[in-house]
């Protein structure tokens, strides 16, 4: 999906609004919303899915603090990140990190 690729090019703190994404892809906002709906996802859900993927990757493979991960994913505070992560995965970030099968392979950065 072009929109996902577009979002992955930048950190979450620099993600554009849907209107700007539409302009970059030379599409109307309505066309993008229609395509997302056909895929069963909203723009916000897509952004949250990417945030979740990044959080899981970093919790599994890095020693980055939860505060740093929260900041990098553009959450206003760590408690908002904790709530979102628990909603996405059913467990807190700290619990996920402790139970991660990759915890012995932490690299300190995203690959």
- Write the CATH number for 65: 1.10.10.60
pTM, rounded to two decimals = 0.82
Within-domain flag for 70 = yes
Q: What is the Cα–Cα distance from 72 to 103, expressed in whole angstroms?
A: 20
Within-domain flag for 110 = no
Within-domain flag for 49 = yes
- DSSP 8-state class, residue 63: -
| Weakly modelled stretches of the chain, pLDDT under 70 | 102-111
**Domain assignment of residue 32, given as a range:** 2-105
pLDDT at 1: 72
Within-domain flag for 111 = no
Closest CA to 11 of 92, 96, 71: 71
Span 60-71, pLDDT tens digits: 999 999 999 999
Within-domain flag for 45 = yes
Q: Which residue carries 């723009």 as its tokens?
A: 43
Q: Strand, coil or helix: what is 52?
A: helix
- State the total domains in the chain: 1
């Amino acid at each position: 999906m072009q929109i996902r690729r577009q979002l992955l090019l930048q950190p979450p703190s620099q993600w554009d609004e849907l209107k700007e994404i539409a302009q970059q892809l030379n599409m109307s906002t309505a066309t993008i919303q229609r395509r997302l709906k056909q895929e069963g996802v909203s723009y916000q859900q897509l952004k949250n899915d990417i945030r979740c993927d990044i959080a899981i990757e970093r919790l599994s493979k890095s020693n980055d603090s939860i505060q740093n991960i929260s900041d990098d994913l553009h959450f206003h505070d760590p408690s908002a990140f904790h709530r979102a992560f628990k909603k996405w995965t059913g467990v807190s970030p700290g619990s996920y990190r402790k139970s991660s099968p990759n915890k012995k392979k932490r690299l300190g950065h995203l690959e």
